[in-house]
Amino acid sequence: MKFERSGGILLHPTSFPGPYGIGDLGAEAYRFVDFLQQTGQRLWQILPLAPTGYGDSPYAAFSAFAGNALLISPDILHSQALLSETDLADKPDFPNDRVDFGRVIDWKMALLQRSYARFKERAGNHGKARLADFEKENAAWLEDYALFMAAKSAHGGVSWNHWDEGLALRRPEALAGWREKLSEPIAFQKYIQFLFFQQWLNLKQYANERGIQIVGDIPIFVAYDSADVWQHPDLFYLDEHGNPTVIAGVPPDYFSPTGQRWGNPLYRWEVMGRDNYAWWVERFKAIYRLVDIVRLDHFRGFEAYWEVPAHEETAINGKWVKGPGLNFFQSIYQTLGEKPIIAEDLGVITPEVVGMRLGAGLWGMRVLQFAFGAFETDATDPYLPHNFVPETVVYTGTHDNDTTASWFETASDREKASVLAYLDSDLLQNITPPQVAWKMVRLAWASVAGMAIVPLQDLLGLGTEGRMNLPGQAGGNWGWRYQPGALSEELRTWLYDITVRFARYVPSK
């Protein structure tokens, strides 16, 4: 799989500034794309665009196919006469540095309801025909997703296994009855998906026309409380009542003596394989409509995954179970052709996982924050830049790490000494944590890794206040937003300079 030598920024759309409590797909998104182009970047990496569920996490979504309606731009709807000035003025006093998800959800969903009422009143035949075409083109997932979301609301937001039994177990007469009963909420759900896809695909086209490719995540597992599991119970290990029998996690390690009990239902890979992984084929088709390159999260789980009995309170009593392996990727390629995929191969990676990645022709990842704990004793650490191979995507940190400035500030004396030695400590005696972050960005850009991507927080030199996610913390994640004016001319000039200097962008002569 071939990629151009390039650089880019990791930033989720929720982090854009703006007056409506959460970043959206309006003017600030286009300004960010302009910033990428002006600094020679070729990549914009995002988190999953799916509708967020538990804990507001994009990795615990209500659907692997739908879009997050909270990203819909009110200003674009106003320009289309689907919202009024009064609608936009009537908003809470949202904080501008973080997303207050509860307040945003309440206000924005009511706003979208007003937009829907205006669409029904004013949309001409052309507008209604476009919505009908969208519904038809996406019917395979949209019909059940819209019913799922409408039914969830009708049942007070509880998980689908606590709904009316006939609906939960998808008995045909119950499905028909609920579709009729919830026809209006179902239509609303389809409408807001139509808006999301319209706005996102316009933004993606704008980025692509400026030479920028979008990198998007596919989490290997889906949330139990999702339209995916409810619509396809035969593809997951569930009992006769729809409850999971085994769930995903990771085993105990140095960081967690009880392991991590993720709770995602596990796939019946043998069932999926019988139709050549048709559900996954559709999932890949859907994501490649939204992004250009896929980062496959928890790649190692395709080789083997940690299976935990659902009744266990921790992940201690799990076991390793073989996944579909290289056959999965060969089957996907046979159906879709070779697709651009990055393997998230972090953590404890076995030779079998490496073999699967190489057999599938995928690039792997390296995170600079992971490189320096053992530098003094092991200069062969694969996370050190002098050990990279070109078929690598290097990051300073990911959405799960603390910012690089905060990581350095809280590192042990040994780790700090390793970092300074690698960066040439004779020149860095009085270096500050933000300066370390910028040096690490430069180190990533100078490396032989074919692709270099850094969180915007590290370009801004932010401390832990800029952290996006703390794994294992149930709430308070995913909310960081940058401030208007943060993409300064000074930052623009510096980033462009190192991008050209290290041949991640070659200006036209």
Strand partners, 213: 43
Q: By the 8 A CB rule, do 505 and 41 touch?
A: yes
Task: With beta carbons less than 8 A apart as the criterion, state whether 365 and 345 touch.
Answer: yes
Contacts of 169 (CB under 8 A, 6+ apart): 241, 242
Model pLDDT, residue 188: 98
- Amino acid symbol at 294: V
C-alpha distances in Å from residue 263, one per residue of 52, 86, 244, 484 = 16, 43, 9, 38
- Say if strands 341-343 and 293-297 run parallel, antiparallel, or are unpaired: parallel
Structure tokens of 47?
């988190």
Sign of CA dihedral 281, 157, 263, 231: negative
Do residues 324 and 273 lie in contact, with contact meaning Cβ atoms separated by under 8 Å? yes
> Can 413 be counted among the known catalytic residues?
no
pLDDT for the residue 401: 95
Sheet holding 260-265, edge to edge: 260-265, 246-250, 304-309, 319-322
Q: What is the CA radius of gyration of the chain?
A: 23
Residue 472, burial from CB neighbour count under 10 angstroms (0-12, 13-18, 19+): exposed
| Residues 16 and 91: beta-carbon distance below 8 Å | no
Contact 216, 49 (CB under 8 A): yes
Instruction: Return the ∠ at Cα 11 (arms to 385 and 363), rounded to 5°.
Output: 40
Whole-angstrom Cα distance, residue 90 to residue 31? 25
The predicted-structure confidence for 333-365, as pLDDT tens digits, reads as follows 999 999 999 999 998 899 999 999 999 999 999
121-153 pLDDT tens trace:
988 888 999 999 999 999 999 999 999 999 999
Q: Residue 427: what pLDDT?
A: 61
Active site residue 344: yes
CB atoms within 10 A of CB 424: 9
Single out the catalytic residue among 56, 144, 225, 297: 297
Strand ranges in 222-340 using DSSP code E only, listed in sequence order: 246-250, 260-265, 293-297, 304-309, 319-322
Exactly one of 28, 56, 144, 344 is catalytic; name it: 344
Active-site residue identified among 143, 282, 381, 400: 400
The pair of structure tokens assigned to 192 is 């807001």
The pLDDT tens digits along the chain (509 residues) read: 789 999 999 999 999 999 999 999 999 999 999 999 999 999 999 999 999 988 999 999 999 999 999 999 999 999 999 999 999 998 999 999 999 999 999 999 999 999 999 999 988 888 999 999 999 999 999 999 999 999 999 999 999 999 999 999 999 999 999 999 999 999 999 999 999 999 999 999 999 999 999 999 999 999 999 999 999 999 999 999 999 999 999 999 876 889 989 999 999 999 999 999 999 999 999 999 999 999 999 999 999 999 999 999 999 999 999 999 999 999 999 999 999 999 999 988 999 999 999 999 999 999 999 998 755 568 888 999 999 999 999 999 999 999 999 999 999 988 888 898 898 766 667 899 999 999 999 999 999 999 999 999 999 999 999 999 998 787 899 999 999 999 999 999 999 999 999 999 999 87
What SS3 class is residue 177?
A: helix
The model's pTM is 0.96
